Amino acid sequence: MGEYTLAGQPISKGIGIGEIFVYEEHGLELNRGNVQEDQLLNEIEKLEKAIAKTLYEIDDLKASFSKRLEKDEWFIFDAFRSMLQDEYFIEEIKDIIHHERYYAENAVDCCIGGYIKAIESSGNEYAMQSIYDMNDINARIIRNIIGDDQSKVMLDKISKKHVVGVRHLNLTLAATLGKRKISGIIYEAGAGYLSHAAIILRGLGIPAVSGIKFEDVKKIEGASVILDAEQGHIIINPVDTQVGEYKDLHKGGARRSSRLLFRRNKPTCTSDGYKVNISASVGSFEECESAGLKNVAGIGLVRTEMLFAHYKNFPDEQEQYAAYLRITKKMGHRPVMIRTADIGGDKQFDFLGSVDSSAVRSTRGIKYTLTNKEMFHTQIKSILRAGSGGNIAISFPMVDTAEEIREAKKVISRSMQKLLDEGTPVKKKLKIGAFIETRQGVDHLESILHEVDYVTIGTNDLLHQMMGIDRKKAASLRGEYLHPKFLRVLKYCIDKARKNNKPLNICGEIASDPTALMLMLGMGAVSFIVNPSKVEEVNDLVKSLNYRKIKELAEKALICKAIDEVKDLVIRFGR
Amino acid sequence: MITKDILVKNESGLGSKQAAMLIQKVSGYKSAIWIEKEERKANAKSLLGLLSLGIANGMKIVIRAEGEDEEQAAQELENYFNSGMGEAV
């Protein structure tokens, strides 16, 4: 059969390309008869085991999502836990088993059924929402009492190439499938747009469409499909060109919707109309959210190592993908520059185990990841995937030589090829940049510029290295960046980048220090990456400055001999 | 025994999440605590019991606590309801 479409309603946006897997839960056959007197204790034991097993399953789901989702999104699992640990509820079921001589599954069903009836009689729409959760937990306990190995076997066959079709989607099924990193979900009934299941799928970035008849889905088992959860339909047996178009359209869609967003963000200008680009540096989704609301040009730096700092193990591709996707989605069309993990050396994290402490700059940043290629590939792949619908760039930390960039580019092209072979949508054309934050990097700036689309000067590390200070003891360095020697290094970088026609960003504390920012601007820097909490302050400062005047100020500062001379100059300028 | 009259003001009322949070708040108290809505009442330490009351925005309920720490328990619950249970009121 040729290409055709089935339409439903979009529940979780995105595009999924894969093959249909039909997941059918078998009907629950409850024994409604009576138990023999001597079997009652056996039923109680079955109940207790099933409750414990269900609790274990819920804990497992909660654990796998608590790191990937916001607390608000996974807190529902705590509600499920509370039900399973509700001693009044458990006692009530046991009473029913004893007094009515019901089988355990029937007792559970009657007990929860009674509660559901009570809610229904309240006739309140909001209260009705919890009925879904109660039905969900009811079915789960019952499955664990009567045993349902078939579902488990079927679940194990599901992989990320699948668009899974189900009849009825509830929270635990959405979570169980979500954990399996699938390409998408289509279902006939259940989870509405505001349901907990839908919230979780959106949080995980798994596209979902509801209202697709299960009987229709069963007929297309194994067929290749495009799940277009932007529009709310699936295309069955798409032609190859359509698949390609879809990947492009997906990107285009993201651009279209965020053009509106961009209009709200006017560029910041000095009082004499000199345009300045202010972007944010973030290390968590919360920071990104706060930055997203502000007048920022984009995210100039995602400190990926911070996103995962509390992890015990280095996050897998899906965990990273979900984290990056949330950020790119939040920012819409605005650019997001994701920096690969800056770890190693003195930047230690739990998941790295112990590392030789004498190895500091020589094994940090891009060098660390180039010698730990598996970790690097995983990260690059997840960034490429998350970027497929957004405006992303990849930055590499602690770049010393052009050779390192060439090597990193090979990793990117290998990762991209692998994803394309799998048919996964990726960001094909992306900009790459280097963090220049070592003396070696400055020395090789010219050749590095030839390999990248932009550079970012990591002023904190650069200053510390030039002043010979450990970054952990750097608190005392405040203000040292006004040193004329350091200013001249920055001026050298700014001029080099301009000569090579490549954008340069200034990052680090210096970018939000009013005095230093003034000098940087005067020296010709036009793009700054600052902490989200500083965005407004920096915006206001820039608007108050006159470019012509600070240019003169910077020229004078650059020929100073000592730091005190620079400070004097700035103080006098302030008056 | 202490009772408090409450007007529920948050949008979702006492849904699964709000009820689960409520239980986490009361589980530490020794007192017996009930939530009453019209002629029905539920043990505040039972999630299903709470949900079965179908408590929604705009409804009047009564908190009833009895035991050695009844005052603190009722107070904490009153604060929880009045704060919107994690939502805007």
Question: Residues A459-492: pLDDT tens digits?
Answer: 988 988 887 765 554 444 566 788 898 999 999 9
Determine, yes or no, domain membership for B48: yes
Fold of A4-26+151-238: Glucose Oxidase; domain 1 (3.50.30)
Q: Which residue of B has its CA nearest to A121?
A: B54
Please give chain B's pLDDT, 89 residues, in tens: 999 999 998 877 888 888 888 988 898 899 999 999 988 899 998 888 898 888 988 889 999 999 999 999 999 999 999 888 877 55
Which residues in chain B touch residue A133, judged by CB atoms under 8 angstroms apart?
16
CB atoms within 10 A of CB A169: 26
What's the rounded mean pLDDT across residues A397-422?
Answer: 94
Which residues in chain A touch residue B57, judged by CB atoms under 8 angstroms apart?
126
Percent of chain A with pLDDT over 70: 90
Q: Count A/B contacts: CB-CB distance under 8 Å.
A: 87
Domain, as residue range, for B18: 2-82
CATH 1.10.274.10 boundaries in chain A: 37-147
Give the C-alpha separation, A365 to A375, whole Å: 13
Structure tokens at A288: 């990104």
Structure tokens at A372: 């730990």
Looking up residue B52, the CATH number of its domain turns out to be 3.30.1340.10
Tell the burial category of A239 from Cβ atoms under 10 Å away from its Cβ (0-12, 13-18, 19+): exposed
Residues 6+ apart with CB under 8 A from A119: A127, A128, A130, A131, A134, B51, B52, B54
Q: Contact A75/B17, CB-based, under 8 Å? A: yes
pLDDT of residue A258: 36
Q: Is the pLDDT of residue A74 over 90?
A: no
Q: Which residue of A has its CA nearest to B55?
A: A127
Which residues in chain B touch residue A75, judged by CB atoms under 8 angstroms apart?
17, 20-21
pLDDT band at A552, cuts 50/70/90?
very high
**Class of the CATH domain delimited by A37-147:** mainly alpha
Determine, yes or no, domain membership for B13: yes
Q: Which of B16, B17, B52 shows the shortest C-beta gap to A118?
A: B52
Determine, yes or no, domain membership for B32: yes
Fold of A265-574: TIM Barrel (3.20.20)
Determine, yes or no, domain membership for B40: yes
Structure tokens at A322: 């979900």
What's the rounded mean pLDDT across residues A25-49?
Answer: 90
Residues 6+ apart with CB under 8 A from A572: none
Stretch among A7-11, A100-104, A108-112, A261-265 having the lowest mean pLDDT: A261-265
CATH 3.50.30.10 boundaries in chain A: 4-26+151-238
Determine, yes or no, domain membership for B88: no
Angle A317-331/A285-292 helices, nearest 10 degrees?
10
* Prediction ipTM score: 0.79
CATH 3.20.20.60 boundaries in chain A: 265-574
Q: Which residue of B has its CA nearest to A131?
A: B51
Average pLDDT over all residues of chain A: 85
pLDDT digits (tens, 9 = 90+) for A562-573: 888 888 888 778
Asked whether A278 and A530 are in contact (CB, 8 A), the reply is yes
Structure tokens at B22: 């409520």
What is the count of structural domains for chain B? 1
Asked whether A395 and A433 are in contact (CB, 8 A), the reply is yes
Give the C-alpha separation, A277 to A279, whole Å: 6
Which residues in chain A touch residue B11, judged by CB atoms under 8 angstroms apart?
126
pLDDT of residue B20: 86
Nearest in space to A519 (alpha carbons), one of A573, A467, A476, A468: A573
Determine, yes or no, domain membership for B36: yes
Q: Is the pLDDT of residue A253 over 50?
A: no
Give the length of chain A.
575
